[in-house]
Structure 1
């Protein structure tokens, strides 16, 4: 595997004065997004979101989350589509001790132990910016071009060390793609960087407000039209990535005004204008590379590799994955997973953006035992299991905006779902459970009733195939649709 150039990037140039007032770009943005210290009320209690660096937590941290969820919340941890965890049902009056317990377990921002940033508000903003997604198999995937874990750590440090980045939306996110086969590349990110093998070595192609190009079926260009993103713009060596990201973030804050996401900025500024402005912050050339217009990832991504056992890169070890139903893990199961990682793995759990869990560094002779234990804990380890293709938001049981009990309905649907059909149940149009567009979406219209949509490249969920379906009717119609269009 090519190694990343460890030589630090050149110092940043000073930018020209911001084009908006300094107050506008340094004032932290208000947000309703849950965080470690900003626990947001919902129908079923408070929501606390725990951001995991690189999607990884230790067995000790898993035990701490299990204990805290039992003491202060409903005893269940939910995996998110950004490879984080969240606790729901946080009881009123227990918010502060919950946050303190999680910070004490090392789950807070890197500034949590800094005496100068112990003010809860400052910690909350440092927590908000920790949005870098990498492959759950980074450093282990046999198809990777580069190990992105050191670079991910650098970017997380960068995000938390510049006070100005507190003005970024808590949803503002970066994707760092090392070319792994096990990679989620169909989620749009504000800035994406993807490894590319070139004559001069591995470089990172980058773009704004879209997804890395792909030759596989996981990315559908029609879901993220050029009006909302840029495609591949240019490429830089790995050593320039931190400086590039810093320049792009400062440029966004210089130009954003009321914009909260990169796609909003691109509605008023061209990608070339963004690059010209970012050039002020770096001393290496930064301009659109026309040769990258049709750039694509070197290999298709394969989400099925998150399940079951797969050989790691060149070390004779395996990673083994399983998916809890709808991404929900109760405290006993979380403790069981932690014990399994300690006994047979490296003591770490990797959350995935498919709401599943990966255990790494498993010896060959331990693989059958790990798979058996995951199944005993209630996790699905085979992509043929329908429950691994169903996602659902909190629904009416947990969210005031939900029009149907999506969690219960999703479990019922999975019992009748044809093999390999990916379905997303959402209680309202906000689509909180999915950052991508699933092939089929059931949008709640009333309790127990859904409008069925099929992805077809148009904005939103796609074409409305049928309205006001019960779960049984939806399952029957999905079976007919799959038979008539087997590659849907």
Structure 2
């Protein structure tokens, strides 16, 4: 498909130079755009293998270290001992450790036992045993030395895995349903479209220089958080054309949250790669490159609107009209796939819950062993930091559940374990202000005791998201209780780690962003008391089957404080 533009879309009000290539604004307007214009960042791999891995960390220049390395899934991690109050005051080189986070890209597909073992081996040999399941269905390693990166790539690629464009201003890993192809309610398996996009476009220089990151979700079910991705395809049945996909564009969270907008188009399975490329190319050509904090697709969509975006997509990129179509039906509660569920082929899948996505190489190795003992053979990750074992003989399901529970992967977790997510946090992230993984783990264990008596009354888990900074990697605005890390004042006036609270956010049928109580902050030490207080008020005061999010909309600030 050609992506050459034939006419210019309307510029933003005022006609400012926003760095939009399609409007002739090609001059780089910030340093990120300068280093991308100098060289395709994908080219850095050769220098990593031939120079930096041999000469060590000190040999790496800044534009590669803090820029182009991201195109191969590498970020420097935070140097230990730097408290959160100093995060925004230090220069990048002062925050850098001489170790890397490495993101292993998984595009919607299930992993084989062999692939899982390859990740476990790399984790144990090169990453001090780290292996976090992210909410982008990736696996994230830490403590990676530059000297070991070529060996890691070799081991992963031999198993059919990669880190290509796992980070950077590129199409990131594509979210796909962990139960694609086997779900009882699925009418069309979108996996072929995901694999075709990956084959055609990931690592393709035509799309390796976008204004910022570009996130995709493709699923028949509403289980890939489609409202908050740059582009999403969700299954829907057209009254005339049959099963296909609804197209949503322009979602994203971070410091300015936007829900994706429907374009009103119905896309058949075989057309998804072409339409996806068109959306991505619009972002490349019309995206705002002047300021990094306005360079996401959501800002272009907010300015254009869905009708204008569809007009440009059809007229300048697809050169044809899309079919009008109905909206996909969103669920009332999140679909997390936890528990034992029937597949369409008579087998079952088992969804389990690592605590806030934290596992280790030894956990993954134990998971691989358990899967081999009890059948199945495929493992998938979810956008809610869960793990799913597919294709299990029903007669083996309970034995598998027992073995996984012993690994710290329960299929029947508490509501707090099931509903809590956390980002990487200050342990490794250079943007973070507070701890998240350890704090969230401690909070889950605390709430399991504090709220054991009310848990049976909840109906569905009250979701909790802990984020180490404002960027919302753990989706604080769309969680029942979203906690944005910051430095706050305690009762004695001391500056301590704490959180700004967002309450009542949700995705799905009643999607909405969480409510903030003016001036309300919670210190890290007060967190358990606060969550207990609010949840008990909800259980005591709710009306009928009112959800936590609905309750937070109805009640006053005092009830939420």
Shorter-chain TM-score tier: 0.7 to 0.9
Higher mean C-alpha displacement, 13-22 vs 397-406: 13-22
CA–CA distance in structure 1, aligned partners of residues 166 and 536 of structure 2: 48
Question: CA separation of 1:260/1:316 partners in 2, compared to 1, >3 Å: closer, same or farther?
Answer: same
Residue 413 of structure 1 is matched in structure 2 by 443
Distance in 2 (CA, whole Å) between partners of 1:385 and 1:74 is 30
Answer whether contact 1:20 1:255 (CA < 8 A) is retained. no
C-alpha distance 471-436 of structure 1, shift in aligned 2 (>3 A):
closer
Q: Could you say which structure has the larger radius of gyration?
A: 2
3-state SS of paired residue (1:78): strand
Out of 244, 258, 263, the position equivalent to 1:203 is: 244
Deviations 1:292-337 (A, max 9, x none): 4xx3417556424x21210001x11000111111211111111111
Equivalent runs, 1:64-79 vs 2, <5 Å: 64-79=118-133
Give the Cα separation in 2 of the matches to 1:303 and 1:242. 25
Partner in structure 1 of residue 273 of structure 2: 242
> Cα offset for 1:365?
0.7
Deviation at 1:76, TM superposition (A): 1.6
Does the aligned pair in 1 maintain the 2:421–2:465 contact within 8 Å? yes
| Residues 91 and 252 (structure 1), Cα distance of their counterparts in 2 relative to 1, 3 Å cut | closer
| Correspondent of 1:163 among 183, 205, 219 | 205
Q: Does 1:477 align with 2:554?
A: no
- Asked if the contact 1:428–1:444 (Cα under 8 Å) also holds between the matched residues in 2, the reply is yes
Tell me the equivalent position of 1:269: 304
- After the TM superposition, which of the residue ranges 124-133 and 38-47 deviates more from structure 2? 124-133
Counterpart-to-counterpart distance in 1, 2:177 and 2:397: 21
Over residues 143-196 of structure 1, what are the superposed CA-to-partner deviations in whole Å (9 max), with x where a residue is unaligned? Answer: 11211111211122232264210012563011112136xx13355111111221
Distance 1:298 1:229 in 2: 13
Q: Distance in 1 between matches of 2:127 and 2:414?
A: 33
What is the correspondence of 1:18-417 to structure 2 with a 5 Å cutoff?
Answer: 18-20=22-24, 27=37, 28=40, 34=70, 36-43=72-79, 45-91=99-145, 93-108=147-162, 128-160=170-202, 162-168=204-210, 171-179=213-221, 183-185=223-225, 188-199=228-239, 200-210=241-251, 229-258=260-289, 260-279=295-314, 280-286=316-322, 289=324, 292=326, 295-297=327-329, 302-304=334-336, 306-313=337-344, 315-417=345-447
Q: Distance in 2 between matches of 1:253 and 1:185?
A: 23
Q: Report if the CA contact (8 A) 1:172-1:260 is conserved.
A: no
399 and 229 in structure 1: CA distance in 2 versus 1, 3 angstrom threshold: closer
Shift in CA distance, 426/336, structure 1 to aligned 2, threshold 3 Å = same
Distance 1:12 1:327, change over 3 A: same
Question: What is the total number of aligned residue pairs between the two structures?
Answer: 446
In the superposition, the TM-score normalised over structure 1's length comes to 0.81
Distance 1:166 1:51 in 2: 16
Residue 115 of structure 1 is matched in structure 2 by none
Structure 1, residues 81-121: CA drift from partner, whole Å, max 9, x if none?
11111002224643443334333332126xx8xxxxxxxxx
* Number of the residue aligned with 1:6: none
Q: Report the CA distance shift for 1:124/1:77 in structure 2 as closer, same or farther (over 3 A).
A: closer
Contact 2:217-2:226 within 8 A present in 1 as well: no
Q: Are residues 156 and 373 of structure 1, via their aligned partners in 2, closer, same or farther at CA, if it must alter by over 3 Å?
A: same
Contact between 1:55 and 1:83, CA under 8 Å: does it hold in 2?
no
Q: Is 2:170–2:209's contact at 8 Å kept on the other side of the alignment?
A: no
Indicate conservation of the 8 Å contact 1:392/1:406, yes or no.
yes
Instruction: Encode CA deviations 1:326-356: one digit per residue, 9 max, x unaligned.
Output: 2111111111111222333342210111111
How far apart, CA to CA, are the structure 1 residues paired with 2:305 and 2:332?
Answer: 29
Give, in angstroms, the shift of residue 12 of structure 1: 5.2
TM-score normalized by structure 2?
A: 0.71
RMSD: 3.3
What SS is found at the alignment partner of 1:233? strand
Range moving further from structure 2, 475-484 or 17-26: 17-26
User: Conserved in 1, the CA contact under 8 Å of 2:100 and 2:143?
Assistant: yes
Distance, in Å, in 2 between the alignment partners of 1:323 and 1:370 is 14
Q: CA deviation at 1:278?
A: 2.1
Q: Name the counterpart of 1:455.
A: 504
Q: Which residue of 2 aligns with 1:217?
A: none
- CA separation of 1:427/1:416 partners in 2, compared to 1, >3 Å: closer, same or farther? same
The structure-2 alpha-carbon separation of the partners of 1:316 and 1:251, relative to structure 1 and needing over 3 Å to count, comes to: same
Contact in 1 for aligned 2:156/2:162 (Cα 8 Å): yes
TM-superposed CA distance for 1:36, in Å, is 4.2
Which residue in 1 is equivalent to 2:6? 16
Q: Deviations over 1:49-98 (max 9, x none)?
A: 01112143221222222121222222120001111110022246434433
State whether residues 401 and 410 of structure 2, in contact with CA within 8 Å, keep that contact through their aligned partners in structure 1. Answer: no
Q: Which has the higher contact order (CA 8 A, sep 6+)?
A: 1
Superposition deviation, residue 270 in structure 1: 3.5
Three-state SS of the structure 2 residue aligned to 1:143 is coil
